[in-house]
Amino acid sequence: MRVRLMRWVPLALFAFFAGVAGYMLTQEKNQFVESAMIGEQLPEFALKPASAGLPGATRSDFVGGKPRLLNIWASWCLPCIAEAPQLEALKAQGVEIVGIAIRDRPEDVANFLSRYGNPYARIGADDISEVQLAIGSSGVPETFVIDAAGTIRYQHIGDIREDDVALLLAELEKVK
Amino acid sequence: MIRALVLFIAALMALPLAAQDTMPPAPYAYNQLDDPAQEAEAAALMATLRCLKCQSQSIADSDAPMAGDMRHQVRSRILAGESPDDIRAWLIARYGDYVSYNPTISASTWPLFAIPVLLILIVAAVLLRRLGKRREGDSAGDEGDAA
């Protein structure tokens, strides 16, 4: 009797693994790599201006006053075009946005700003992604909420959609 | 017919719309360190760090611009005297365990290490029992082996 029951063990194991695999296939996979720097200090950095006529960006630009947004973007990034109107909306709400342009050329940055508008108070040029890597960002665009003490408080991965604007405003309010 | 063929060949050669930058790679993205010992250290580390853009490749395998920038970080930090463990820890502090291909025992990974040991113990117990039984009762026959 016991032997007969034991015969079903391999089939039961197989059914269990098939069940787990089937279940996992129906689950949505999170492809995003989240930054582990939330709650940490923004690292020290100083980037040259990404385009003529706008200042570059340093860590000290984030310290004092009110919380700010740090927007990782690039003129060669297509979702960044989709995000531009939402950044304008945030700027219209009085949010100071500091851009960091990843691997970008000054003329391309200027061209992008003239076509899609300029919501940035300043833009630093990160030619070798060093600041991007230092804050745990893994792509463009990404947007970080930095509080007035220079601490990273929130990360938004991907382009900012219309309904994300209220969410980011709430996150900025939260860390005031 | 010929036009269709030409179009077909042209379609094969079409370049995908490049959503990538045109900037030159970082200095140490494709250049080795001068000191072979340091370069060997860097290469060993780069083979065990995950590319964040192309998540199934190591940064040593990937041609993504971001992987090049990560190789630059690794090589320039080795050159500045940091140890491979320091650099791995620096990246894990930013991206979590995910960035490292070097397996560690943690709250979520311990079953991967525990289950094989457990299975070997179970197999050893079953074998000992069966072999023991056979030695005891050769003449009486063995119902366990009938299966």
Q: For residue A163, report the phi and psi dihedrals to the nearest 5 degrees.
A: -80, -5
As a whole number of angstroms, the longest Cα–Cα distance in chain B is 85
Name the one residue in this structure whose structure tokens are 């094989």.
Answer: B116
pLDDT of residue B147: 43
Beta carbon pairs, A and B, within 8 Å: 70
Nearest to B95 among A105, A129, A136 (CB): A136
Q: Helix-strand-coil percent breakdown of chain B, rounded to 5?
A: 55, 5, 40
Instruction: Classify residue B50 by its DSSP letter.
Output: B
The pLDDT tens digits for B57-79 are: 999 999 999 999 999 999 999 99
Nearest to A128 among B52, B72, B94 (CB): B72
Task: Please indicate if any CB of chain B lies within 8 Å of the CB of A129.
Answer: yes
Cβ <8 Å between B98 and A134 = no
pLDDT of residue B146: 45
Strand ranges, E, within A30-90: 46-47, 57-58, 68-73
pLDDT of residue B55: 76
| Residue of chain A with shortest Cα separation from B56 | A31
Look at residues A58, A128, A69 and name the one whose alpha carbon lies nearest to residue A96: A69
pLDDT of residue B7: 66
Q: How far apart are CA B22 and CA A104, in angstroms?
A: 8
pLDDT of residue B106: 83
Q: How far apart are CA A75 and CA A15, in angstroms?
A: 50
pLDDT of residue B43: 96
Looking at chain B, the number of H-run helices and the number of E-run strands are 5, 0
For chain A, the straight-line distance linking the first and the last C-alpha, in angstroms and rounded, comes to: 70
Look at residues A100, A104, A43, A79 and name the one whose alpha carbon lies nearest to residue A164: A79
The pLDDT tens digits for A116-137 are: 999 999 999 999 999 999 999 9
Task: Please indicate if any CB of chain B lies within 8 Å of the CB of A42.
Answer: no
Q: For residue A15, report the phi and psi dihedrals to the nearest 5 degrees.
A: -60, -40
- 103-142 of B, contacting A, C-beta below 8 A: none
Contacts of B87 (CB under 8 A, 6+ apart): B45, B73, B74, B77, B78
Residues of chain A found within 8 Å of residue B66, distances taken between Cβ atoms: 129, 132, 138-139
The dihedral over CA atoms of B43, B87, A68, A39, expressed in degrees to the nearest 10, equals: 140
Higher-pLDDT residue of B22, A75 = A75
How confident is residue A172, by pLDDT bands cut at 50, 70 and 90? Answer: very high
In DSSP terms, B20 is beta-bridged to none
Contact A139, A157 (CB under 8 A): yes
pTM of the model: 0.81
pLDDT of residue B104: 83
- Check pLDDT > 50 for residue A98: yes
> DSSP of B87-145, one letter per residue?
HHHHHHHHH-GGGB-S----TTTHHHHHHHHHHHHHHHHHHHHHHHHHHHTTTT--GGG
pLDDT of residue B134: 79
Cβ <8 Å between B146 and A3 = yes
- The residues of chain B scoring below 70 in pLDDT are 1, 6-19, 137-147
Task: Please indicate if any CB of chain B lies within 8 Å of the CB of A140.
Answer: no
Looking at chain A, the number of H-run helices and the number of E-run strands are 6, 7
In DSSP terms, A97 is beta-bridged to A69
pLDDT of residue B1: 67
Look at residues A153, A159, A121, A148 and name the one whose alpha carbon lies nearest to residue A135: A153
Average pLDDT in the A59-80 region? 96
What's chain A's average pLDDT?
A: 95
pLDDT of residue B105: 84
The edge-to-edge listing of strands for the beta sheet with A68-73 is A122-126, A97-102, A68-73, A142-146, A152-157
Contact B35, B78 (CB under 8 A): no
Q: What is the ipTM of this complex?
A: 0.86
Average pLDDT in the A131-149 region? 96
Mutate to test the interface with A, among B22, B66, B71, B126 (most CBs of A within 10 A): B66
